[in-house]
Structure 1
Amino acid sequence: MAELFASGRIVDLILGFVALETGALLVWRWRRGRGPSPIALVGTIAAGAFLMIALRAALTGAHWTVIAGCLAASLVAHLADLRFRLREDQSRSLGRSSQSSEPGTSTERPAFNRRQQARMISS
């Protein structure tokens, strides 16, 4: 276990799990139509990934500029993620959301009818 940390391979494993989780979330959204949008995932995942890469660099004795660069990239990704989230919240509060504020699905909604028509055509 000590070698896993000393070599930085632990970070590689964690990044692999994060990649799998990201893929699973994207598939979930594609199949169910729910969950975080791909653009929302980019900032979050990138910020965390750059932090993990900075950790890997520190564990393996990389030059301080590499570590600083990864931390700076993480900050940029985090700020972009915050900006996206704040704009999204502002759009919702102004009533510009693409989703209805009413819960549930109605057969009268155009989106429901298009999905039903697509299912009928494909079967």
Structure 2
Amino acid sequence: MEDLVTSARLVDFILVLVLVEGAGLWLWHRLTGQGVAGRELIGLLLAGAFLLLALRAALQHAGWEWIALWLTLALIAHLADLIMRWRRGSRGDRP
């Protein structure tokens, strides 16, 4: 069990699940019109995927530059998602 957790295999599996989740949510919205639109999920899913890639890099003893890159990209994706939500919310609050 320790080998599974400390290797990148578990992270790879979770990354595939994130991809499947995103595709499933997009398809659900496309077919039913319910749920969250794909463009609204992008920032959230990218931020999580970039954090997982940072973890994967750390588990594989990659250089600090790779870990910093993935963490920076996660921050950018998170901030972009936050700004998008903030702007959408502030427009909806006005009379």
- C-alpha distance in structure 1 between counterparts of 2:8 and 2:67, whole Å: 13
Q: Which protein, 1 or 2, shows the higher relative CO under an 8 Å CA cutoff with sep ≥ 6?
A: 2
Does 2:49 align with 1:88?
A: no
> Any gaps of 5 or more consecutive residues in structure 2?
none
CA distance in 2 between counterparts of 1:28 and 1:13 reads 22
Which residue matches 2:47? 47
Corresponding residue for residue 15 of structure 2? 15
Q: Residue 6 of structure 1: CA displacement?
A: 2.9
Equivalent position of 1:111 in the other structure: none
In 2: Cα distance, 1:63 partner to 1:25 partner: 34
Radius of gyration: which is bigger? 1
Matched letter for residue 19 of structure 1 = L
RMSD: 1.1
Residues 15-74 of structure 1: per-residue CA shift (max 9 Å, x gap): 111111111101110111011111111100000000000000001100011001100000
What one-letter code is carried by the residue in structure 1 that aligns with 2:69? G
| Identity within the alignment, % | 43
SS in 2 for 1:62: coil
Shift of 1:3: 2.4
Moved over 3 A (4+): none
Q: Which consecutive residues of structure 1, in runs of 5 or more, have no partner in the other structure? A: 96-123
Higher helix share: 2
Question: What TM-score, normalized by structure 2, do the two folds share?
Answer: 0.93
